[in-house]
Amino acid sequence: MEGIFAVITCDLRRSREITPRQPVQDAIKRALERINAEYATIIVSGFSFTLGDEWQGLIKEPRLAYELVWAMRRYLPGIRIYAGIGLGEISTAVAPVQEMDGPAFHRAREAVELAKSQQRGVAFVSGDPEGDPVVNSLLRLIEGTWNRATQRQVQVVLSYEQTRNMSMTAERLGITKQAVSKILKAAMWDEVIEAREGLKVLLVNLSRLTRHESTVSESPVPACGQEH
């Protein structure tokens, strides 16, 4: 399958401490159904459970990979996850994610294991020795800001994320529009949004670079004495 894709692999954080487990798995299934419907135009193979508490999906717009992680947060409030984003090619035909393979899947696995080993919410792997550290540094900055948010800030931010409308957020939460604005400012939400937009640009550039390198590696090598 041609092109550069993003695979997102997720796992529950501290899953052994979650009891009972079934309500959480049911909540994740409902969230994945909503995400598969909401992002149907960019999803190649829908998000579903793959192994134990892990779930995975494949998208054709790598620049939006981190936005899907945020979608999971919106639909899974109070449930902490690890997420690994892998960028690259797919070596099989489109099928359920459990039946697919390729560099993007291998890198997503590497990324989620990196997130777990470093106790980070999200990690990224594309195989680019210069680009990956930049993306991961920006992810650490965004995630660090998010991890410092208070419970009230988390509630307001996730509600605001669904509409990007302060008046609607205020009405939903039963507070004033001014209170919403104040809480978003305290959570440094404008800065987080700017960083997320910057991350999209980085992912676009890495996708182009990965596609170019893939094309070059597949080009035939001229035979000895053949003109270049």
Query: Rounded to two decimals, what is the model's pTM?
Result: 0.89
CATH value at residue 100: 3.30.70.1230
What 8-state DSSP symbol labels residue 54? E
In a domain, 16, yes or no: yes
Split into its structural domains, the chain has a count of 1
State pLDDT tens for residues 74-116.
999 888 999 999 999 999 999 999 999 999 999 999 999 999 9
Give the start-end residues of each E strand in 52-179.
54-59, 81-88, 122-125
In a domain, 197, yes or no: no
Per-residue pLDDT tens for 32-42?
A: 999 999 999 99
| Residues ≥6 apart with Cβ < 8 Å to 221 | none
Q: Does any domain span residue 36?
A: yes
The answer as to whether 132 is a domain residue is yes
In a domain, 80, yes or no: yes
Q: Classify residue 218: in a domain, yes or no.
A: no
Query: Is 212 part of any domain?
Result: no
Is residue 60 a part of any domain in this protein? Answer: yes
The boundaries of the domain holding residue 36 are 5-139
